[in-house]
Amino acid sequence: MADKDFPGWHGTTIIGVRKGDQVVVAGDGQVSMGQTVMKGTARKVRRLSPGGYDVVAGFAGSTADAFALLERLEAKLEATPGQLQRASVELAKDWRTDKYLQKLEAMLIVTDGKELYVITGAGDVLEPEHDIAAIGSGGNYALAAARALIDTDLDAEGIARKAMGIAADICVYTNGNLTVETIGG
The per-residue pLDDT for 9 is 58
Q: Which listed residue (12, 80, 111, 174) is catalytic?
A: 12
1 pLDDT exceeds 70?
no
Ordered alpha helix ranges (H), the chain: 63-79, 84-97, 139-149, 156-170
Q: Count Cα atoms within 13 angstroms, Cβ side, for 37.
A: 12
* Contact between residue 30 and residue 173 where contact means Cβ atoms under 8 Å apart: yes
Q: What's phi and psi for 172, nearest 5 deg? A: -70, -15
Q: How confident is the model at residue 6 (pLDDT cuts 50, 70, 90)?
A: very low
pLDDT over 90 for what percent of the chain? Answer: 66
Residue 80 known to be catalytic: no
Q: What is the mean pLDDT of residues 129-136?
A: 95
- 122 residue type, one letter: A
Query: What does DSSP say about strands 31-33 and 9-11: parallel, antiparallel, or unpaired?
Result: antiparallel
Backbone angles phi, psi at 117, to 5 degrees: -135, 150
- The answer to whether residue 33 scores a pLDDT higher than 50 is yes
Tell me the pLDDT tens digit for each residue of 92-102.
988 878 776 66
Provide φ and ψ at 62, rounded to 5°.
Answer: -65, 125
168 contacts: CB under 8 Å, gap ≥ 6? 13, 28, 138, 174, 175, 176
Instruction: Please say whether the beta carbons of 141 and 166 come within 8 A.
Output: yes
DSSP 5-33: G---EEE--EEEEEETTEEEEEE---EEE
Q: pLDDT higher for 185 or 72?
A: 72
Per residue in 134-167, pLDDT tens?
999 999 999 999 999 999 999 999 999 999 999 9
- Cα distance between the two ends of the chain: 49
What's the whole-number mean pLDDT along residues 107-134? Answer: 93
Give CA–CA dist 17/38, Å, rounded. Answer: 28
